[in-house]
A and B are shown apart, each in its own frame.
Chain A
Amino acid sequence: MSPILEFHQATKAFRGIPAIKNINFTLSVGEIHAVVGENGAGKSTLMKVLAGVYELTSGELIFDGKPLHLKSPAEALAQGIAMVFQETNLVPSMTVAQNIYLGEEQLFNRLRGLYIQAQRFLLSLNFYVDPMALVSTLGAGKKQMVEIARAVHHHARVLIFDEPTASLTPEEKFHFFNLVRRLQRDGMSIIFISHALEEALTLSDRITVLRDGEVVVTDSTRNFDRSRLVHAMVGRNLSSELYGSAQERTTRPYGEEILSVRNLSMGNIVRNTSFSVFSGQITGMFGLVGAGRTETMKIISGVLKRDFFHGGEVRLKGRHVRYRTPRPAVVDGIVYVTEDRKVEGFFETMSIAENIQVGELTTGRNPLALVTMTEARRMAAEWTKRLGVRAIDPGARVIELSGGNQQKVVIAKSLVQKPKLVIFDEPTRGVDVGAIVEIHRFINELADDGIAVVVISSYLPEVLALSDRILVARQGRIVEEMDISEATEAKIMYAAVH
C-alpha cells in the first residue's frame, strides 16, 4: 500500500526542549495505525502537528506525496486530516446537526432541512443519534459518533482518534470498533492513539511505539503481544504489576463502616440505591455508562443533590449527612476525584503548587485563607515526590503536564484534604501504563493506611486488580456485590448487563 502520509525526521521543540525528535512515521491508505506510548511520550504532540495545531521545528511532513505545511486545524481539515479528540470539541449548547454542519452556515438557515439532511447522513453511517438533540444531553459514546460524523462530512481521508474509547462502555467500544473497520473498508486511513493496549492489538494493522519523544519500534501488529508492547513503551516489563490475577492476592478485611447509603434516589439516574463502604478497603464499583455510579458518588460528595422527597439517606460513620455543596463533605472527610479532570479536576492555568493549595484551602483548616507561596511550594514538593509527578518545570501550569501527571495533581489536590473516604472516578482514564501502576500503588497505599476507598471504573481488569469487594451498578441501582475471591469478568459483566 502506498503511504498517504509520512513524517521524515520530524522534530518539535518547546522552549528548546524537544517533545518529539527525529520521528519517521508512515501511514498507508486504508490502514489502521496505532500509536502507543506513555503519557509524555510525544503522541499528542505528533498528532497535533498532523492536525495543524503545531508546526514542526525541523523535518517534514509529506501528505499524498507532497510536502505539507499546516498552519491551522482548519487547513488540516481542508486537506482531509481530521482529529477526534479525547475530550470532544463539540459545542454543547448546539444540536447534533448544527455541530456537524458547523462553519457551513448560510445567511438564512432552514433548520428543518438541516435536521433531515443530518438524519440521513447519520443513518448512512449507522449512527443512531437524534440530530435535534442538544450535544450537552448526549453521552460520551454518542458525542464521539457526532465527532466522527463531522470528520466524515468534511471528507477526511486521514482520521486521528485520540483515546477514542476512554469514555466508552464495553458495548459502545464494540460498536466503535465495527465503525472504525467500516471506515477502513471505505478507504480511510486511521491513526489510533490509545492507552488500552488490547484495543491497539485488536484493531490496528501496525503499531508504532513512542518513548521520550522518539520512535522505539514500528511493526506489524501480529508481531506484538501485550508484554512486548509494554516493554517497548516503558523499557521494563509491567504486565504482572498492572493487572495481576485477582484471586492470587490477599484481600483486606472489613474495617469500620464509614459510609452507609440507603434508598438514595435522584430522578431516573439514581434509583433507590443502597450500599456501604468500609475503612481500610477498596470498594470497586463497576457498571456501564448510565448506571448511575458517578451520579451516586456525586450526591454523596455534595456535587449533586438527591431528590428532595424520598431521596433516601446517607450516613457518614452513623451520622446522617446531606451535603448541598462539596465543601462540607470535604470538611467531613469525603473527597471525590473526578473522572473529568480537565473540566472539574484542576485549574489548568494555575501551577501544580497553586492547585494543591486550593485543595488545602477547601478544608477550612486555614480560615483566614492566608497563603504563603513558600508553604504552597513545600506542599507541592511533598506531594509531587509522593505521587511521582514529573514536570519539566516545577512551576509549570497543569495544562502543560501530560495526562498521567495531571491526574496525579488532581489526586494530590484531593488527598491534601486528609480524607476519610476517597472516591476515585475512573482514576486511570487517559493515563499511560507507567502512571497506571503508580496510581494503583498509591490507591492501595491509601487503603492500607485505613482509609475507605471507592474506585469507579469501567475497565474490568482494573476493578479486579484493585478491589477488595466489587459493587455492580445497573440502571441506577447497586444490583450485585461480590467478594474479589468469587468475582470474574464474566460474572461482573453479567450482573452489569442483565
Chain B
Amino acid sequence: MIGALKRAYAAFRGFDDETGSAPMMDGPLRPNALLDAAPVALSLADVDNLTQHRGALLCSSGSRLLGLAPQGTSLTASDGGAFEQPVTFVAPGPSDSLAIGLDGRGVLILEGPHAGKAIAGAGGQPLCSPTAGLFVDADRLIVANGAEGRTATDWKRDLMERGATGSLWLIDLSTPGKTATQLGKNLAFPTGLAHAADGRVHVSEAWLHRILAFKKEAMSAPQAVLSDLPAYPGRIAPARDGGFWLALFAPRNQLVEFVLREDDYRRRMIDTVDPDFWIAPALSSGVSFLEPIQGGARKKLNMLKPWSPSWSYGLVAKCGPTMQPLRSFHSRADGAIHGVTSCCEFDGKLYVAAKGSGRIVAVDLADTGAHDP
C-alpha cells in the first residue's frame, strides 16, 4: 500500500522514485586526482583505441591509425595508415591479427590470416556502429554493434533517445560468407569486450551502466557481473595480474538521470538544441559558456570545485578477475584528463587515452601500487 502510494506520488511529481539517483563514487571508486597527477605522454586530438599489438602500442586519432613508441616519459607517434571513416575500435588478436572498426562502414581486418577482409554487416544487419572487437582465435571475431542504424560517433543521441538496439556478433572469418552468430541483442550500447576467466566474454553495456557476461558460442542470457556503476563504462583492457582495466568515458549525474525520464522535455531538447549543449554526458566540457550548468555552487572564487557535478569526467577502474573494482584513477570536475575511452597496460605503466581532452597519460603502476590491492 505504502509502495503504491509512493509510486503514485513519484509519478505525479516525476521524481523521488528509486531510479532517480546516480550511485556515488566511494569505496574502490573513491575520487582522487591520480590521472591529473600522471605525466602527459602525448597530446593528440581525438586519441582513442589504445591497445598493444606485436609488442608495441597502437592508437587511433579520428580516421588515422598510429603506432606509439615510448621515449622516456613521453610517447612518439608514427603514422600507421588513414581510413575514410573514423576508427571506432582496434582489436589485436592471435597470429598477429589486427581488426579495426570503421564508423558507419563495419569491420576491416588489417593483418593476420584474414587480412584484407571487410565485414559490412552481420545477420543481415549493417554493422554501422562497430564499437568493440575481440578475437576469440585467429578465425573468429566478436564484434559489438553499439546501435542499429546509428554511427558510433552519434552515441550521445543514442543515449538521449534511450537506445537499446545494440547487438553482439560472433563472426567466423574462415567461412566464405563470414558466418555471423548473434550472441546478444537489444543491448543498450555495448562498448567494450574482454575475455573472462571463466571462458565467457565481458561486455560493457554503457547506457545501463553495467558489465555483462555472455557465452562465446551462442546466444545466451547474459549475467551482470558488475552493475550500477556511477559512470558509463567503455572499453575493457586486460591487466597483467589477470584482472581488467575498465575505462568509464562519462559520468552519470542526477540531472541527466532526471532528463532521461522526462520524455517530452528530452524530445524538445533533441529537436531544438545543439547536441554539444544538451543536458547529457560529454567527453569534454567547460569549453563554452553555452553549456548547461547545474545551478550555482559549481565555482568558488572562479575556481571549479572538484566535487561539483560535471558533464565530463576521467575515470579508469582497476577490476579483479571477477570484475569487482579494486581501485580507481580519476580526473575530477576540475581536472584535465576527461573522456577516457581506452587504456592499456604496457611496460609497467598504464597508458590512459582521454579522448575528450586529447591526451595520453602514463600512470606508473609501481608508484600507485595498483597491482597490490
Contact flag A309-B24 (CB < 8 Å), given A254-B325, A256-B324: no
> Which residues of chain A from 93 to 132 have any CB-CB distance to chain B below 8 Å in the complex?
none
Contact B326 A275 (CB under 8 A): no
List B contacts of A257 (CB < 8 A). Answer: 27, 228
List A contacts of B30 (CB < 8 A). Answer: 481, 483
B320 CB, nearest partner CB in chain A, Å:
7
B204 CB, nearest partner CB in chain A, Å:
16
Task: For the complex, give the distance between the alpha carbons of A483 and B369 in Å.
Answer: 14
Task: For the complex, give the distance between the alpha carbons of A320 and B228 in Å.
Answer: 12
Closest to A471 in B: B26
A132 CB, nearest partner CB in chain B, Å:
36
Among A172-180, A310-318, A390-398, the stretch that binds chain B is A310-318
Interface string of A469-498 (1 = CB under 8 A from B): 100000000000101000000000000000
Task: For the complex, give the distance between the alpha carbons of A31 and B373 in Å.
Answer: 52
Contact B373 A275 (CB under 8 A): no
- Does chain A have a CB within 8 A of B267? no
Contact B228 A318 (CB under 8 A): yes
Contact A254 B24 (CB under 8 A): no
- Does chain A have a CB within 8 A of B137? no
Contact B228 A260 (CB under 8 A): yes
- Does chain B have a CB within 8 A of A253? yes
> Which residues of chain B from 1 to 56 have any CB-CB distance to chain A below 8 Å in the complex?
2-3, 6, 9, 16, 18, 21, 23-24, 26-28, 30
- Does chain B have a CB within 8 A of A14? no
- Does chain B have a CB within 8 A of A263? yes
- Does chain B have a CB within 8 A of A424? no
Contact flag A274-B373 (CB < 8 Å), given A254-B324, A481-B30: no
Task: For the complex, give the distance between the alpha carbons of A312 and B326 in Å.
Answer: 26
Residue of B16, B224, B227, B373 near A254 (CB, 8 A) is B373
Contact A318 B227 (CB under 8 A): yes
- Does chain B have a CB within 8 A of A276? yes
Contact flag A253-B18 (CB < 8 Å), given A276-B26, A315-B228, A318-B228: no
Task: For the complex, give the distance between the alpha carbons of A274 and B373 in Å.
Answer: 24
Task: For the complex, give the distance between the alpha carbons of A275 and B27 in Å.
Answer: 8
Interface string of A266-282 (1 = CB under 8 A from B): 00000000111010000
Closest to A314 in B: B18
Contact B326 A253 (CB under 8 A): yes
Task: For the complex, give the distance between the alpha carbons of A176 and B21 in Å.
Answer: 43
B294 CB, nearest partner CB in chain A, Å:
16
Number of A-B residue pairs at CB separation under 8 A = 51
B287 CB, nearest partner CB in chain A, Å:
30
Task: For the complex, give the distance between the alpha carbons of A263 and B17 in Å.
Answer: 12
Task: For the complex, give the distance between the alpha carbons of A483 and B373 in Å.
Answer: 12
Task: For the complex, give the distance between the alpha carbons of A310 and B9 in Å.
Answer: 11
Which of B16, B24, B27, B326: most chain A Cβ within 10 A? B27
Contact flag A276-B324 (CB < 8 Å), given A263-B21, A315-B228: no
Contact A308 B26 (CB under 8 A): no
A253 CB, nearest partner CB in chain B, Å:
4
List A contacts of B373 (CB < 8 A). Answer: 253-254
List A contacts of B324 (CB < 8 A). Answer: 254-256
Contact B24 A262 (CB under 8 A): yes
List B contacts of A262 (CB < 8 A). Answer: 21, 23-24
B22 CB, nearest partner CB in chain A, Å:
8
Task: For the complex, give the distance between the alpha carbons of A209 and B24 in Å.
Answer: 49
Contact B227 A274 (CB under 8 A): no
List A contacts of B26 (CB < 8 A). Answer: 274-276, 481
Task: For the complex, give the distance between the alpha carbons of A322 and B227 in Å.
Answer: 20
List A contacts of B9 (CB < 8 A). Answer: 309
Contact B23 A310 (CB under 8 A): no
A153 CB, nearest partner CB in chain B, Å:
48
Contact flag A309-B16 (CB < 8 Å), given A254-B326, A262-B21: yes
Contact flag A320-B27 (CB < 8 Å), given A254-B324, A254-B325, A254-B326: no
List B contacts of A318 (CB < 8 A). Answer: 224, 227-228
> Which residues of chain B from 328 to 373 have any CB-CB distance to chain A below 8 Å in the complex?
373
> Which residues of chain B from 214 to 242 have any CB-CB distance to chain A below 8 Å in the complex?
224, 227-228
Closest to A251 in B: B373
Contact A254 B27 (CB under 8 A): yes
Contact flag A254-B23 (CB < 8 Å), given A260-B228, A309-B16, A318-B227: no
Task: For the complex, give the distance between the alpha carbons of A35 and B320 in Å.
Answer: 51
Closest to B254 in A: A263
> Which residues of chain B from 75 to 127 have any CB-CB distance to chain A below 8 Å in the complex?
none
> Which residues of chain B from 307 to 322 have any CB-CB distance to chain A below 8 Å in the complex?
320
Contact A278 B27 (CB under 8 A): yes
List A contacts of B3 (CB < 8 A). Answer: 322
List A contacts of B227 (CB < 8 A). Answer: 318
List B contacts of A263 (CB < 8 A). Answer: 21
Contact B21 A276 (CB under 8 A): no
Task: For the complex, give the distance between the alpha carbons of A318 and B228 in Å.
Answer: 7
Interface string of A415-443 (1 = CB under 8 A from B): 00000000000000000000000000000
Q: List 22 A-B contacts (CB under 8 A).
A: A253-B320, A254-B27, A254-B28, A254-B326, A254-B327, A255-B324, A257-B228, A262-B23, A263-B21, A274-B24, A275-B24, A276-B26, A278-B27, A278-B28, A308-B2, A312-B21, A313-B18, A313-B21, A322-B3, A481-B26, A481-B30, A483-B30
5 smallest beta-carbon distances between A and B, as pairs = A253-B373, A274-B24, A254-B28, A262-B21, A320-B18
| Sample of 20 more A-B contacts, CB < 8 Å, known A256-B324, A274-B24 | A253-B326, A253-B373, A254-B27, A254-B325, A254-B327, A257-B27, A262-B21, A262-B23, A262-B24, A263-B21, A275-B26, A276-B27, A309-B9, A313-B21, A315-B228, A318-B227, A469-B27, A481-B26, A481-B27, A481-B30
